[in-house]
Structure 1
C-alpha cells in the first residue's frame, strides 16, 4: 500500500509541473508556426527572440525539472510564456486570421456594434 501512495502522479505539485511544462510547450510550438513577418507587422519582438526565450524556458525545465516553489528559472519561463500567450499571440493571430483582420461582420465605422 505504501508503494501506491509514493507514486509521483498522486502528488498535486507533479500535476502542476506537468501543466506548466505543457503550457510552455504549447507556447513554443505556437511561436514556431507563426509567420516571421507577422511579428514585425504586429510591432512585437522578432520570431527568433520568442523562439529563443520560450525554447530556453522549456529546455531548462526539462533539464532541471519544474520546481514552482524554489526555482527562479521556472517562474521566469512561465512569465515569458504567459506574456507571449496574452500579448503577442492575440496580436499576431488577429493579423494572420482569414479576411486580413478578423471577423468584421459586426463592425461599424467606430468599432463593433
Structure 2
C-alpha cells in the first residue's frame, strides 16, 4: 500500500512540474511578441494575455501542491494560448 501511495505522489509531482513548465513557457512566449502582433492577429491584447499567463504561473507557484479549479482554469488558458494565439502570432512575424 505504501508503494502505491509513493507512486501516486511521484506521479502528481511530475504532473505539477510539467504543468508549471507549460505555463512558464506560455508566459515567456507571450512576452516575445509585440502588442501590434496581437492586434493584427485579432486576439486579446498583449497585456491581457501576459496578466492571465503570469497569474497562472504565480498561482501554481504559491499554491504549489494543490491542483484545483483555479489551477485548471489557468492551465486551460495556457493551452489555449499555445494552441491558438501563439500560431496566429507566429504566422504574422518573420524571424
Structure 1 length as normaliser, TM-score? 0.74
**Higher helix proportion, which one?**
2
State the secondary structure of the residue aligned to 1:97. Answer: coil
**Larger of the two Rg values belongs to structure:** 1
* Unpaired stretches in structure 2, ≥5 consecutive residues: 1-5
State the secondary structure of the residue aligned to 2:20. Answer: helix
* C-alpha distance in 2 between matches for 1:17 and 1:47: 26
* C-alpha distance in 1 between matches for 2:65 and 2:57: 10
Aligned twin of 2:17? 18
Greater RCO (CA < 8 Å, at least 6 residues apart) = 2
* C-alpha distance in 2 between matches for 1:31 and 1:21: 15
Are 1:88 and 2:85 counterparts? yes
* Unpaired stretches in structure 1, ≥5 consecutive residues: 1-5, 99-113
Q: CA RMSD in A?
A: 2.0
* C-alpha distance in 1 between matches for 2:24 and 2:65: 13
In the TM superposition, structure 1's runs of 4+ consecutive aligned residues that sit over 4 Å from their partners are none
